């Protein structure tokens, strides 16, 4: 809450509100309990809080500060709350003046911390007494006026400086966002020669010779002198409160309220008066804003005659008025979360508590130390009168809000209807059912995967070819719950070639009470595991020789350069597509159902990509299933993995890290020893390439795959719960690795992606070279479509290394043939076209060289 300063009748006492508390500062010589004053001045502070039970202010804590100035004349100048530039926290402060000999005045600025300890934040001396325009701003920064010049000193610099602008008075000073510390006041301006020829009257000179300006203390320049307050009001405005600021077309626009000598409260917006309120008392001196909650905003105006009033911001009518006051403070005194006004009447301050007061928010909150109020009847009549003035605008505002609410509800209903019909049409199309959607409704349907608007309608015969039944592609669907994630997996048939397709597995949550659905945010992963055992690359030399003889004696066997990393000619692989989503948002429903939809985008021999959609099935889950432990992923001690679905769920949900291990001087025979003995791993019988760690502690459940390419090089993939476990595994691995062994983190995932990327870049280079022919436009357009589709393959590329390497040599041979063919042709092109083609060739060659460099570094 923003605290406000207030003065009591005693000049050596000041009251201030801060965070719902009332701070009472008193400057005395000695303690309160001492009857005889001492020579050492002491500044006391008491924190008073309002007790809603007893309806009185009680003392919470006290503090004091000893001023080491003997036989001095001390005086409290002001107190308030400002922000300290060191922390940005608002803290109470107090400024004390010390009148020394020879007309030397010393000033102290003390900051009060939450521990009731004072800090001397700023001290300086002047050869004169500060009397006019004393203000303390954020920093803290002290601003005052002497003769006709404004001066300021900051706690950051500690030096007194003058304001360069020729201001006659300053009505407001504070901090504006993006502008820093600014001043708003009247500045004298020079009249033109034509205006000076005529002798203006004193009133005209006072009006037109001054202008309101906004001045920046940081840049020492005028930010704006327009759209503030018209010059006609310059001689009557006494106080300003800025409500809002904004910059439009590099011009500062301000909304503010101002008090005038004609006892008026005027609202200005961008230099134009909007509302005027005639105040009930004379000589207004200060205005504060009070937010009582529920959109009720009031301007509380204080007067020199110890009176005050509250003005509605909505209609600029007087809501209440009070007389014979000593203090007016605004804060949340009762802890309701909204602001109230604290009215302290004269002679209310004694040595123990605040005796005569009233707390009100001009609504339901009313606390008073007196049973009756002399102005209660007048307030009641004012409330009745203001009620008739406020109710009609509120009714109009409610009607407008209800109208906007109905339009918004109709718009949302239309969007839900369109999405629901699109979803039904897609599901019916995938399942091969007849769609009874009318032609008028089809115009509102939108594609889910961004198809073109002018796409050609496909007949029913083609639909049956492009969309396959789930029984042809999907063997099984399963789901598991692990920690805070839901893992859904789909096992596909071996006929589905995932290496050539972009696969997306989506979860569409059905709503039980209507036909709406919700697309869940998922993270997809394609898992491909081989069921055939790999050759043992860790065998000893004599065992390797036996293995070589066994291969040579096998009929129809072929020689290989390196039989250590030889793979079976026929691979039996299991393909799993998984979708991982957060389980927490789904727990809001007692039970929910999700439709599992598989989207496949494949590329076929030079044609445009073809989409296929498969409804795999539905997933049902309830809170009762989670409570009973159904579908929860757990590891029994006797048999770590009972079902293969548990293994796939771990591979999908765990953090995956891929490392290339190279040992130039020694063979990596110790890798399997590390996995089996040190990490206590068990080989999964169904998938021999996967190792399950049974070592107790944080290692338990970690999965490893080790593919040894050569006796000195291999790829290690770690599936861990988090990166901490992964670093623990690497730390344990380094202890047993040979000397001068290198580990490299493969951030691209694996070398399969790099091989695919190399093939695609070579293909792009080949097509770019062939674009020199007459068919450049059509050929390049078809190729660019295929290349854009190929960019999304990085997340699902899982084919084996040998298959990718066999695809690269044909591209290289065809590239060389095309280059020779183009050199033999006599083609003439324009200079601009030649430069364009040369630039394209250089770009694609640079990309292919970069991909080759990455691949060669593996």
CATH number at residue 674: 3.30.70
Domain membership flag for residue 126: yes
Same domain, 722 and 834: no
Q: How far is CA 725 from CA 580, 657, 692, 728, 731, in A?
A: 21, 11, 14, 5, 10
The pTM is what? 0.46
Same domain, 658 and 722: yes
Same domain, 711 and 730: yes
Predicted local distance difference test score (pLDDT) of residue 856: 64
- Out of 133, 166, 186, a domain closes at 133
Domain membership flag for residue 703: yes
Domain membership flag for residue 69: yes
Question: Do 308 and 362 touch, CB atoms closer than 8 A?
Answer: no
| Cα end-to-end span (Å), the chain | 62
Domain membership flag for residue 192: no
Q: Residue 220 burial (CB < 10 Å; 0-12/13-18/19+)?
A: exposed
Same domain, 65 and 108: yes
The CATH number covering residue 76 comes to: 2.40.128
- Out of 80, 102, 133, a domain closes at 133
Same domain, 738 and 758: no
Torsion of CA 782, 784, 788, 791, to 10 degrees: 120
Q: How many helices (H) and strands (E) in the chain?
A: 15, 43
Token reading at 261:
């000598």
- CA 704 to chain CA centroid, Å, is 36
Q: CA 417 to CA 415: how far, in whole Å? A: 5
- Out of 726, 746, 766, a domain closes at 746
Same domain, 678 and 762: no
Domain membership flag for residue 457: no
Can you list the pairs that 55-61 forms with residues at least 24 positions away whose Cβ atoms lie under 8 Å?
Answer: 55/367, 55/369, 56/353, 56/354, 56/369, 57/22, 57/353, 57/354, 57/357, 58/353, 59/352, 59/353, 60/21, 61/116
Same domain, 18 and 111: yes
Question: Do 675 and 691 touch, CB atoms closer than 8 A?
Answer: yes
Predicted local distance difference test score (pLDDT) of residue 438: 55
Domain membership flag for residue 206: no
Handedness of CA 152, 158, 159, 165 (dihedral sign): negative
Predicted local distance difference test score (pLDDT) of residue 104: 86
Q: Strand 132-137 to strand 73-83: parallel, antiparallel, or no bridges (unpaired)? A: unpaired
Same domain, 57 and 86: yes
Same domain, 765 and 687: no
Q: What is the 3-state secondary structure (H, E, C) of 538-570?
A: CCCHHHHHHHHHHHHCCCCCCCCCCHHHCCCCC
- CA 378 to chain CA centroid, Å, is 51
Structural domain count of the chain: 3
Residue ranges of the chain with pLDDT lower than 50?
1-11, 30-37, 192-197, 202-206, 351, 372-374, 376-377, 444-467, 499-500, 535-570, 606, 774-783, 787, 789-802
Domain membership flag for residue 39: yes
Same domain, 47 and 92: yes
Half-sphere exposure at residue 783, Cβ-oriented, CA atoms within 13 angstroms = 19
Same domain, 49 and 106: yes
Domain membership flag for residue 32: yes
Predicted local distance difference test score (pLDDT) of residue 386: 61
DSSP letter, residue 480: E
Domain span at 54: 11-133
Same domain, 732 and 773: no
């Amino acid at each position: 809450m923003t605290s406000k300063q207030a003065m009591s009748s005693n000049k050596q006492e000041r009251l201030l509100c801060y965070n719902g508390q009332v701070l009472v500062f008193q400057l005395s010589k000695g303690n309160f309990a001492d009857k005889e004053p001492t020579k050492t001045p002491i500044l006391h502070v008491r924190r008073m809080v309002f007790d809603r039970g007893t309806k009185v202010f009680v003392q919470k804590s006290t503090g004091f500060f000893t001023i080491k100035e003997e036989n001095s004349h001390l005086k409290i100048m002001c107190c308030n709350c400002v922000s300290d530039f060191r922390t940005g926290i608002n803290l109470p402060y107090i400024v004390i003046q010390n009148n020394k000999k020879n007309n030397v005045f010393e000033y102290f600025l003390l900051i009060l911390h939450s521990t009731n300890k004072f800090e001397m934040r700023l001290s300086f001396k002047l050869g004169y007494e500060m009397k006019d325009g004393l203000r303390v701003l954020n920093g803290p920064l002290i601003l005052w006026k002497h003769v006709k010049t404004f001066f300021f000193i900051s706690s950051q610099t500690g030096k007194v400086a003058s304001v360069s602008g020729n201001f006659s008075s300053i009505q407001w000073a504070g901090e504006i966002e993006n502008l820093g510390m600014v001043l708003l006041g009247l500045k004298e301006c020079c009249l033109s020669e034509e205006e000076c020829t005529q002798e203006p009257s004193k009133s005209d000179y006072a009006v037109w010779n001054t202008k309101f300006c906004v001045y920046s203390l940081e840049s020492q320049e005028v930010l704006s002198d327009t759209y503030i307050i018209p010059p006609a009001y310059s001689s009557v405005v006494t106080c300003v409160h800025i409500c809002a600021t904004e910059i439009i077309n590099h011009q500062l626009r301000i909304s503010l309220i101002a008090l005038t000598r004609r006892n008026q409260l005027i609202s200005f917006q961008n230099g134009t008066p909007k509302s005027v309120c005639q105040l009930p008392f004379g000589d207004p001196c200060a205005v504060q804003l009070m937010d009582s909650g529920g959109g009720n905003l009031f301007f509380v105006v204080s007067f020199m005659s110890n009176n005050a009033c509250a003005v509605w911001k909505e209609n600029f009518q007087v809501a209440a008025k009070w007389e014979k006051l000593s203090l007016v403070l605004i804060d949340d005194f009762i802890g309701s979360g909204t602001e109230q006004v604290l009215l302290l009447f004269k002679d209310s301050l004694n040595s123990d508590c605040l005796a005569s007061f009233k707390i009100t928010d001009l609504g339901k909150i009313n606390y008073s130390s007196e049973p009756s109020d002399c102005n209660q009847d007048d307030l009641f009549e004012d409330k009745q009168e203001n009620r008739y003035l406020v109710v009609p605008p509120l009714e109009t505002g409610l009607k407008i809000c209800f109208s906007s609410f109905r339009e918004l509800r109709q718009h949302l209903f239309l969007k839900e209807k369109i999405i629901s019909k699109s979803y039904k049409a897609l599901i019916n199309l995938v399942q091969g059912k007849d769609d009874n959607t009318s032609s008028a409704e089809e115009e509102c349907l939108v594609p889910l995967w961004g198809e073109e608007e002018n796409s050609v309608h496909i007949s029913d015969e083609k639909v049956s070819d492009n969309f396959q039944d789930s029984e042809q592609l999907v063997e099984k669907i399963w789901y598991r719950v692990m920690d805070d994630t839901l893992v859904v997996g789909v096992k596909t048939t071996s006929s589905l070639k995932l290496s050539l397709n972009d696969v997306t597995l989506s979860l569409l949550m059905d709503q039980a009470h209507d036909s709406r659905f919700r697309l869940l945010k998922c993270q997809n992963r394609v898992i491909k595991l081989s069921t055939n055992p790999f050759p043992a690359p860790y065998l000893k030399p004599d065992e390797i020789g036996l293995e070589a003889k066994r291969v040579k004696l096998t009929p129809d066997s072929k020689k290989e350069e390196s039989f250590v990393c030889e793979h079976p000619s026929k691979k039996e692989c299991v393909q799993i597509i998984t979708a991982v989503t957060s389980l927490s948002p789904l727990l809001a429903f007692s039970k929910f159902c999700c439709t599992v939809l598989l989207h496949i985008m494949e590329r076929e021999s030079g044609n445009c990509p073809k989409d296929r959609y498969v409804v795999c099935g539905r997933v049902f889950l309830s809170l009762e299933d989670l409570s009973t432990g159904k579908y929860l992923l757990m590891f029994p001690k006797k048999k770590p993995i009972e079902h293969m679905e548990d293994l796939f769920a771990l591979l999908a949900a765990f953090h995956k890290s891929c490392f290339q291990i190279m040992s130039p001087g020694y063979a990596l025979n110790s890798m399997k020893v590390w996995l089996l003995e040190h990490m206590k791993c068990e080989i999964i019988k169904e998938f021999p390439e996967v190792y399950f760690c049974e070592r107790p502690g944080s290692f338990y459940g970690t999965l490893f795959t080790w593919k040894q390419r050569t006796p000195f090089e291999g790829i290690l993939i770690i599936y861990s719960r988090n990166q901490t476990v992964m670093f623990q595994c690497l730390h344990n691995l380094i202890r047993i690795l040979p000397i001068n062994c290198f580990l490299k983190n493969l951030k691209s995932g694996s070398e399969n992606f790099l091989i695919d990327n190399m093939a695609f870049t070579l293909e792009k280079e080949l097509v770019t070279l062939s674009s020199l022919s007459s068919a450049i436009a059509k050929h390049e357009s078809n190729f660019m479509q295929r290349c854009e589709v190929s960019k999304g393959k990085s997340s699902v590329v899982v084919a084996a290394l040998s298959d990718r390497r066999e695809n690269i040599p044909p591209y290289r041979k065809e590239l060389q043939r095309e280059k020779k063919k183009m050199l033999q042709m006599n083609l003439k092109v324009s200079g601009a076209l030649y430069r364009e083609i040369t630039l394209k060739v250089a770009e694609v060659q640079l990309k292919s060289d970069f991909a080759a460099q990455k691949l060669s570094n593996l």
